Structure 1
């Protein structure tokens, strides 16, 4: 999943970036509202964390412009202000959740994951398609009650496919959503990850959970159970 963090406190920004990368996110960062707005408009984003008190463009203004541009991904706002009116202003501008500084980073991670589940129409962290179970909280993948050993990028590809089951996802889209903004991307690597996933998920070639649509991309085909 692709996360955008817009925060002008350098130390906090680095701390959040490291933590979410360790959680398996591809993380893009911005230190002011204008840069954050540019990234959100030009790159695919699944969820964003936005501080209200930003230089150049406030978090409220950034949110308003994002929603006016038709960007619907969930946004959690961070604020050092405890006044109820600031929270209301953020929610009215289009935020989906808020957290007041100082906060426990574990709570922030849990809230971001909850926003992603809600956006995908899930009420719990575990999704199950046939014999395959994926837990977005623990990042475990279970096949027929046996845990699979997946690399970080294999997991990211499978998670995005399963959370978008039935949709055709291009190699470029998958690449954008698993790598950070400044990573030297090669969409051909997706073919390698998909090949590995097929061998691990379907060693006997019976389930065929990942369909290739020539010239278009991939689709996760199993039905939810």
Structure 2
């Protein structure tokens, strides 16, 4: 599981990063909101932890921007404030959970684990983007026409749709779709991207997968 941590207090950032890594998470950490936004738009994550009060951009500004880009990654907000209005604003902006400082490290770890599980559960549901609907019960991709996908095709399309409108790299897809299988490679990802591109064309969808061999890849709507 890959986590983005944005926390401007250096010591806390380092401690949380170390604890998450000890729990088996792969962590990208940053100290300001602008870099957090850039990373969220450039990489695929299983969960994002955002401090509200950060330089350059606040956590709320970052959250609103990524939700505005249709990035559905579960988000946990951190704040030193305890006011109800602050919590409500974060939840209204699309946060999935909220934790007020100071907090026990065990509680943060439990919240992050619950957050990433929630993301996995969400991923199992029906997904729609543009004129495409992806159905998990039948492995169908539906637009003007309907086509059935293989399990790997479905998992790949699901990963792309869950990170819609921003790109995901080969490493992310190899980890999340192929579970780092030894035989899976850049060639494997490219082959399945081509399969999906052909099937999107077959169902006459305006959704496209952009990217060259080697990635990164991104789903867009071609108006």
TM-score when normalising by structure 1: 0.59
C-alpha displacement of 1:192: 2.5
List per-residue Cα deviations over 1:112-167 (Å, max 9, x = no partner): 11111122228xxxxxxxxxxxxxxxxxxxxxxxxxxxxxxxxxxxxxxxxx9951
- The residue number in structure 1 matching 2:207 is none
Q: Is the 8 A contact 1:25 1:178 kept in 2?
A: no
- The residue number in structure 1 matching 2:130 is none
- The residue number in structure 2 matching 1:109 is 109
Q: Any idea what SS the aligned residue of 2:24 has?
A: coil
Cα distance between partner residues in 2 of 1:174 and 1:109: 27
Structure 2 residue 176 is matched with structure 1 residue 176? no
Count of matched residue positions in the alignment of Structure 1 and Structure 2: 149
- The residue number in structure 1 matching 2:87 is 87
- The residue number in structure 2 matching 1:149 is none
Matching of residues 36-185 of structure 1 within 5 Å:
36-121=36-121, 167-168=155-156, 175-176=171-172
C-alpha displacement of 1:64: 0.6
1:215 is matched with which residue: 191, 206, 216?
A: 191
Cα pair distance change 1:18/1:177, threshold 3 Å: farther
Q: What stretches of structure 2 of length at least 5 have no aligned partner?
A: 123-151, 160-167, 194-223
List per-residue Cα deviations over 1:68-106 (Å, max 9, x = no partner): 111110000000001111101111111110000000111
- The residue number in structure 1 matching 2:182 is 192
Alpha-carbon RMSD across the aligned residues, in angstroms, is 2.8
C-alpha displacement of 1:46: 1.3
Cα distance between partner residues in 2 of 1:178 and 1:54: 33
Cα distance between partner residues in 2 of 1:43 and 1:191: 21
- The residue number in structure 2 matching 1:203 is none
Cα distance between partner residues in 2 of 1:166 and 1:52: 35
Cα pair distance change 1:214/1:14, threshold 3 Å: closer
Cα distance between partner residues in 1 of 2:29 and 2:39: 8
TM-score when normalising by structure 2: 0.59
- The residue number in structure 2 matching 1:4 is 4
